[in-house]
């Protein structure tokens, strides 16, 4: 069927939908959704939350609670709709009483299978850009005129001292900076705390060989995309430099060499009291909102193996490993078999170390090239751009797939990857490497959503494992350490000069525990994961990432983290929620998440 037909179908559906919404005619609305399966995912526009309603009953409950106050209207097709298989997919714009929104609709047989509604801007508080940008100079003549530089210097000198930020962001990586930029454009006074000496150091300080594993099309920061010669996989130091420039270009109040020492919420004054060490100076900040953008990875987890204290060689967590340079000829044991483990093993091997990887459980593995082409390529690539799929449209499309649906779609991609790279998987099998595509075959991104780890995007180390350059011990774990070796559960003793624990990280609420209190950490509970009931993501099903970018059980505490795509996309979702509170819009939260797990 033609694009015109698809568009006509989408327009008809949207018109009918708007009319039914306008009449608050629940039966009519529900009749427009598919019977077998349907989803309505909302981000802020209806729920002041991030929430997926699954099936007609949940949709009915949600509309009953929200429709009267939201006043949705002006649903309009954006661009052309398209048919693919038995699905018509269409972007649209709409409005509510207070917001401008966008969405994506998927129809099957003219009924909604999935719909996403998303707030994009708050009416009357739109970002000043394009036609509404500042003039930069006040034309005419003005005695006591101040210049841009003077205003910037005044702001830097006073914010946090004689005036208070409305929002404090802890963490100056891509997440903190992207959110800082959004809040700057929304005129929300904000300070970003970065513990390192320079913005971007959280990347610079990682291991020497690190490059992003996601390609450039996936990684743009908001407002200031990379130039078109930017390498496909950003080297960590180049990315660090970019983030540092970004903070400056976006005029962020980024306090470097600044660490949060303590934070507690004053329930009476409804504000945080945050003690900061700013390069040795003690500053107390009183922001209304506190965002932890300290990395979705949380606090490094090091397993407690018997005998660890008597081991005479070096031991470190992967986050502290920087380079294999010092280890030529040394015996290195890497515990873990995910991304960092592979990268570190390869780096050590390249520097002439004797390397053994200890794999305790299966790893989801896929070749970077295959992923780029088959998984990310349809949305984030030069091909996608040439088909008109901008970064913005790609992000919207990703958001439009409910967490129930995305893994199913992904599983088809991994079937193709398995066919294509059969030889590599067979060779990994032969050396005993435990590979998997996850419990439901859904691969890397689903793993990332469920537990934030458990995979390796192969940029070369699989070959080293397959050909035996990196020695492998799998189906085992560590039983104990001796003074000179790592003893495995199969009885093998691996003599070692260095042990690297590539054993992952705790939940982000570990940051809340260390910066605020265990009580608050427990109150908000586990972060990340959707309740998929798979490894490290226990049920019940929650349908959205726990605690991320949405209200938590701790008033005025927010979590922001993830890769560069998430930093870009969710920074707006979170910024709009904070802006709404700053200007006093009512923000009734529908479907506030309950806490099922403490970490």
Q: Out of 250, 252, 263, 344, point to the residue binding a copy of itself (CB under 8 A).
A: 250
Instruction: Please check whether residue 42 is in contact with residue 51, taking contact to mean a CB–CB distance below 8 angstroms.
Output: yes
139 near a copy of itself, judged by CB under 8 A:
yes
Helices 422-430, 406-420: axis angle to 10 degrees equals: 80
**431 interacts with a copy of itself by CB under 8 A:** no
- Tell me which of 36, 68, 84, 140 binds a copy of itself, using CB under 8 A: 140
The footprint of a copy of itself on residues 119-138 (CB under 8 A) is: 127-131, 133-137
Q: Decide: is 419 part of the binding site for a copy of itself (CB under 8 A).
A: no
Q: What phi and psi, each to the nearest 5 degrees, are found at residue 80?
A: -95, 145
**CB of 205 within 8 A of CB of 322?**
yes
Q: Looking at 16, 18, 37, 237, which residue binds a copy of itself (CB under 8 A)?
A: 237
Residues 343-402 interacting with a copy of itself (rule: CB under 8 A)? 346, 349-352, 368-369, 382
Rounded least distance, CB 49 to a copy of itself, Å: 28
The Cα–Cα gap between 222 and 56 comes to 35
Q: Residue 27 or residue 136: which is nearer to a copy of itself going by CB?
A: 136
What is the number of helices (H) and of strands (E) in the chain? 18, 25
Q: Is 224 a binder of a copy of itself (CB under 8 A)?
A: yes
> What single string gives the DSSP state of each residue in 443-510?
HHHHHHHHHS-SEEEESSHHHHHHTTSSEEEES--EEEE-SSEEEETTS-EEE-SEEEE---B--THH
One of 68, 84, 86, 149 touching a copy of itself (CB under 8 A)? 149
Comparing CB distances to a copy of itself, the nearer of 15 and 467 is: 467
What interhelical angle do 174-185 and 564-582 show, nearest 10? 40
CB of 186 to a copy of itself, least distance (A): 11
Q: Does 208 bind a copy of itself (CB under 8 A)?
A: yes
Query: How many angstroms from the chain centroid is the CA of residue 509?
Result: 15
Closer to a copy of itself by CB, 242 or 505: give it. 242
Q: Does 233 bind a copy of itself (CB under 8 A)?
A: yes
78 near a copy of itself, judged by CB under 8 A: no
| Nearest to a copy of itself of 401, 464 (CB atom) | 464
> At its nearest, how many Å lie between a copy of itself and the CB of residue 537?
30
Q: Which region holds residue 288: left if phi is over 0, alpha if psi is between -120 and 50, else beta?
A: alpha
Count of residues of this chain found to bind a copy of itself when the rule CB under 8 A is applied: 60
Q: Does 235 bind a copy of itself (CB under 8 A)?
A: yes
Beta carbon of residue 595, minimum distance to a copy of itself (angstroms, whole number) = 38
Tell me the window of 160-168, 203-211, 394-402, 443-451 that interacts with a copy of itself (CB under 8 A): 203-211
How far is the C-alpha of 279 from the C-alpha of 255, rounded, in Å? 9
Q: How far apart are CA 565 and CA 368, in angstroms?
A: 17
CA distance 314 to 300: 17
Q: Does 417 bind a copy of itself (CB under 8 A)?
A: no
Which residue, 66 or 356, has its beta carbon nearer to a copy of itself? Answer: 356
Q: Which is nearer to a copy of itself, 235 or 378 (CB)?
A: 235
Tokens of 232: 């496909």
| Nearest alpha-carbon partner for 257 in 175, 322, 196, 324 | 196
Q: 36: which DSSP letter?
A: S
CB of 34 or CB of 385, closer to a copy of itself:
385
Distance CA 165, CA 251 (A): 14
Distance of closest approach, residue 178 Cβ to a copy of itself, in angstroms: 13
Rule CB under 8 A: say whether 141 interacts with a copy of itself: yes
Neighbours of 471 (CB within 10 A): 17
* Dist CA 146 CA 560 (whole Å): 36
Phi, psi values for residue 473, rounded to 5°: -120, 115
Stretch that binds a copy of itself, among 69-77, 146-154, 354-362, 472-480 (CB under 8 A): 146-154
Residues lying near a copy of itself in the complex (CB under 8 A) are found at: 127-131, 133-137, 139-145, 147-149, 152, 185, 208-209, 211-212, 216, 223-224, 227-235, 237-238, 241-242, 245, 248-250, 346, 349-352, 368-369, 382, 459-461, 463-464, 469
């Amino acid at each position: 069927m033609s694009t015109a037909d698809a568009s006509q179908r989408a327009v008809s559906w949207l018109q009918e939908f708007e009319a039914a919404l306008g009449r608050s005619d629940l039966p009519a609305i529900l009749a427009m959704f598919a019977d077998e399966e349907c989803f309505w995912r909302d981000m802020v526009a209806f729920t002041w939350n991030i929430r997926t309603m699954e099936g007609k009953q949940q949709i009915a409950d949600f509309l009953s609670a929200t429709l009267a106050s939201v006043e949705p209207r002006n649903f309009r097709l954006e661009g052309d709709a398209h048919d693919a298989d038995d699905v018509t997919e269409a972007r649209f714009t709409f409005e509510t009483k207070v917001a401008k929104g966008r969405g994506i609709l998927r129809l099957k047989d003219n009924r909604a299978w999935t719909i996403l509604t998303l707030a994009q801007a708050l009416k009357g508080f739109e970002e000043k850009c394009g036609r509404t940008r500042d003039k930069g100079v006040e034309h005419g003549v003005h005695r006591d005129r101040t210049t841009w530089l003077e205003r910037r210097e005044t702001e830097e000198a006073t914010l946090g001292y004689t005036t208070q930020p409305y929002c404090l962001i802890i963490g100056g990586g891509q997440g903190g900076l992207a959110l800082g930029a959004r809040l700057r454009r929304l005129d929300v006074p904000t300070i970003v705390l970065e513990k390192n000496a320079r913005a971007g150091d959280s990347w610079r300080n990682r291991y020497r060989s690190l490059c992003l594993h996601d390609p450039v099309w996936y990684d743009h920061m908001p407002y200031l995309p990379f130039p078109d010669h930017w390498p496909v996989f950003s080297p960590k130091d180049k990315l660090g430099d970019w983030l540092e420039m970004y903070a400056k270009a976006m005029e962020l109040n980024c306090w470097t060499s600044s660490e949060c020492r303590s934070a507690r919420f004053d329930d009476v004054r409804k504000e945080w009291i945050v003690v900061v060490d700013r390069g040795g100076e003690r500053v107390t900040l009183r922001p209304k909102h506190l965002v932890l953008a300290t990395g979705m990875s949380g606090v490094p987890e090091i397993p407690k193996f018997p005998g660890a204290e008597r081991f005479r060689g070096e031991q470190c967590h992967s986050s502290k490993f920087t380079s294999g340079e010092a280890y030529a000829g040394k015996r290195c044991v890497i515990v873990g078999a995910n991304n960092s483990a592979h990268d570190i093993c390869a780096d050590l091997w390249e520097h002439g170390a004797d390397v053994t990887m200890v794999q305790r459980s299966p790893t989801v593995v896929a070749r970077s090239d295959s992923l780029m082409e088959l998984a990310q390529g349809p949305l984030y690539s030069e091909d996608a751009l040439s088909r008109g799929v901008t970064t913005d449209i790609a992000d919207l499309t990703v958001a439009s797939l409910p967490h129930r649906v995305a893994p199913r779609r992904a599983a088809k991609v991994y079937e193709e990857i398995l066919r294509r790279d059969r030889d590599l998987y067979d060779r990994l099998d032969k050396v005993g490497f435990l590979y998997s595509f996850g419990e439901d075959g859904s691969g890397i991104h689903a793993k990332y959503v469920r537990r934030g780890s458990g995979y390796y995007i192969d940029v070369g180390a699989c070959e080293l494992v397959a050909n035996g350059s990196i020695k492998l011990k799998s189906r085992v774990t560590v039983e104990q350490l001796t003074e000179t070796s790592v003893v495995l559960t199969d009885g093998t003793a691996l003599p070692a000069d260095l042990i690297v624990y590539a054993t992952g990280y705790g939940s982000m609420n570990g940051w809340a525990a260390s910066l605020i209190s265990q009580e608050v950490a427990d109150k908000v509970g586990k972060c990340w994961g959707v309740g998929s009931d798979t490894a490290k993501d226990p049920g019940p099903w929650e349908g959205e990432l726990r605690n991320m970018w949405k209200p938590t059980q701790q008033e005025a505490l927010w979590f922001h983290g993830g890769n560069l795509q998430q930093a870009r996309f969710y920074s707006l979702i979170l910024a709009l929620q904070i802006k709404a509170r700053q200007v006093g819009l009512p923000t009734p939260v529908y479907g506030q998440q309950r806490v099922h797990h403490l970490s």
